[in-house]
Amino acid sequence: MADLDEAELVRRVAGGDRAAFDELYRRTSPWLAVRLRRRCADDDVVADVLQETYLAVWRAAGSYAGSVTEGSAVGWLWTIAANRLVDAFRRRARQERVPTVALLDTTAPAAEDEVMANRVDQNFEQALLRLPPELRQVLQAMVLDDLSVRQTAVLLGMPEGTVKTRARRARIALRKALS
């Protein structure tokens, strides 16, 4: 495949040759990504445009291979990519123009609910402060910081089994304190 030019690779892609497609991608995607990045600083948009471009190449290689144009295969690729980039910019512009509708709370919470929520928060805070520090650390990492058992173990420098045991003890103590 190394001795074939890009036009021949596109012709082979039109015939469904996966190896030719892989070689075409290997040769042209770095160059194409650089050209796209000169026109768009958003790496996610560039990645999407590259994906859409090569999907279009796979689907439409026959239109290039069957044409008797003077243009090069690389120029054909760039034309597809540039058009996909323009489409991406248009999609972004449409999304930014969509007005956002502010959602209003239709009902205010009842005064009793607010008082109870405040009281529960205070009770929970007091119960949390009464926990031994080693239990409180584990509970804060897993519940308040939303870390997994493994992440908590790494953070606190302890085995996962110890984290699980302390988390269970902390929950039992909190349940007892809040009931």
At 77-102, the pLDDT tens digits run 988 999 999 999 888 887 777 666 66
What is the pLDDT at residue 112?
56
| pLDDT tens across the length of the chain (179 residues) | 778 888 889 989 999 999 999 999 999 999 999 999 988 889 999 999 999 999 999 998 888 765 545 568 888 898 899 999 999 988 888 777 766 666 655 666 665 556 555 665 677 777 777 888 888 888 888 877 778 888 888 888 889 999 999 999 988 988 888 77
CB of 23 within 8 A of CB of 4? yes
* Three-class SS of 25-64: HHHHHHHHHHHHHHHCCCHHHHHHHHHHHHHHHHHHHHHH
Q: What is the residue extent of each domain of the chain?
A: 1-104, 119-178
Q: Which CATH class is domain 1-104?
A: mainly alpha
- Rounded to an integer, what distance in angstroms lies between the CA atom of residue 149 and that of residue 51? 37
Residue carrying structure tokens 């909190």: 174
Quick check: helix, strand or coil at residue 20?
helix
The domain 119-178: what is its CATH number?
Answer: 1.10.10.10
Strand runs (DSSP E) across 45-156, as ranges?
Answer: none
From the centroid of its chain, how far is CA 110?
39
**1-104 and 119-178 in the same fold:** no
The pTM is what?
A: 0.52
Amino acid letter, 126: Q
Residue 152 neighbours by CB under 8 Å, 6+ apart: 138, 141, 142, 163, 167
